[in-house]
Copies of this chain bind each other. A is one copy, B any other.
């Protein structure tokens, strides 16, 4: 087992699960005559991000997390997705990007410094393992779970197994 095994597969599992959630959400919209835009703009509270942005943020924490851990160029993706299909494409592109990483790139990464922005004028430096546990994972799972919560709250018939991506 390597540090690659501790990071990339965890992200891939949930990214795949989110794609499945969006498919069920889209089917729900069609069955209930709900405008997809309405569900994609739904929030748990007015000061929280809508469903579409939760998906984009989950993608970013996965992609940027792996880039920072391996000292690769950090990808920047414009948040232009406006439909379920486009968000699934974003998820698929993120998964494809994660699959380009090789285990060798993660060798020793748990002990290497990772410097990342924390707000507009501040950076934080942590060892790779700490960065993964204290920042990348909790942020990633947070946005994925809130996306799931928005769908549940709006009546989409999904369960925790859909969040985990297991059948």
Residues on A facing B (Cβ under 8 Å): 1, 5-6, 9-10, 13-14, 44-45, 47-48, 110-111, 127-130, 132-135, 137-139, 141-142, 144-146, 148-149, 152-153, 155, 160, 163-164
B contact residues around A146 at 8 Å (CB): 145, 148-149
Identical copies of this chain, number:
2
B contact residues around A13 at 8 Å (CB): 133-134, 138
- Are B134 and A10 in contact, CB atoms less than 8 angstroms apart? yes
Q: Tell me which of A1, A134, A163 has the highest count of chain B C-beta atoms within 10 A of its own C-beta.
A: A1
In the assembled complex, 30 residue pairs joining A and B whose CB atoms fall closer than 8 Å, in A order, are A1-B110, A1-B111, A1-B127, A5-B110, A6-B129, A6-B132, A6-B133, A9-B134, A10-B133, A10-B137, A13-B133, A13-B134, A44-B44, A44-B152, A44-B153, A45-B152, A48-B152, A137-B141, A139-B160, A139-B164, A141-B142, A141-B145, A142-B145, A142-B148, A142-B160, A142-B163, A142-B164, A145-B145, A145-B149, A153-B153
